[in-house]
Amino acid sequence: MTLQTTPEKLDPLMIAEGWMAEGRDVAIATVVETWGSAPRPAGSHLVIDEAGNFEGSVSGGCVEGAVIAEAMDVIKQGQPRMLEFGIADETAWQVGLSCGGRIKVYVERLG
């Protein structure tokens, strides 16, 4: 749900439209499902361009790095993909959510 009074300059979807108009290649990542305590609700966006510039968030900064890397690949390949993040498992060197929740993030190319 988008209820926050976000100024347009901070709104990921408005930014994505602006980047598109500038001719940049753009990917949009969206939180589609959350379980347990998740930092950002379903519907939250992170937008990424081909150079790795990004705006918005899908977590509290815990998994953004991994999403950006995947997004740059999605921009090249064109196929959307679903990412899933759970509790951080330090021994396995996985990226995760320290808050104990689990989220699914859908990453797609714009156009």
Partner 1 sequence: MDPYCLKKLNQERRARRAALLLTDLGDGRDRVIKEGDPVAGPLGIAINQAFLSGGSTVAEIDGRSFFLNVHLPPPRLVVIGAVHISQALASMAKIAGYDMEIIDPRTAFATPERFPDVSLFAEWPQDILQTRPLDPYTAVAAVTHDPKIDDLPLERAVNAGCFYVGALGSRKTHAKRVDRLKSLGLSDEQIGSIHSPIGLDIGAASPAEIAVAIMGEVIKAFRARGLRTALQLEKTA
Catalog residues that contact partner 1 under the rule CB under 8 A. 1-6, 8, 13-14, 16-17, 20, 28, 30, 32-33, 41-43, 79-80, 82, 106, 108-111
**Neighbour order of strands in the sheet with 81-85:** 54-56, 45-49, 26-35, 102-109, 81-85
Q: Which is nearer to partner 1, 79 or 94 (CB)?
A: 79
- In 3D, which of 8, 12, 27, 22 has the Cα closest to residue 80? 27
Q: How near is the Cβ of 2 to partner 1 at its closest, in Å?
A: 5
Q: How near is the Cβ of 56 to partner 1 at its closest, in Å?
A: 13
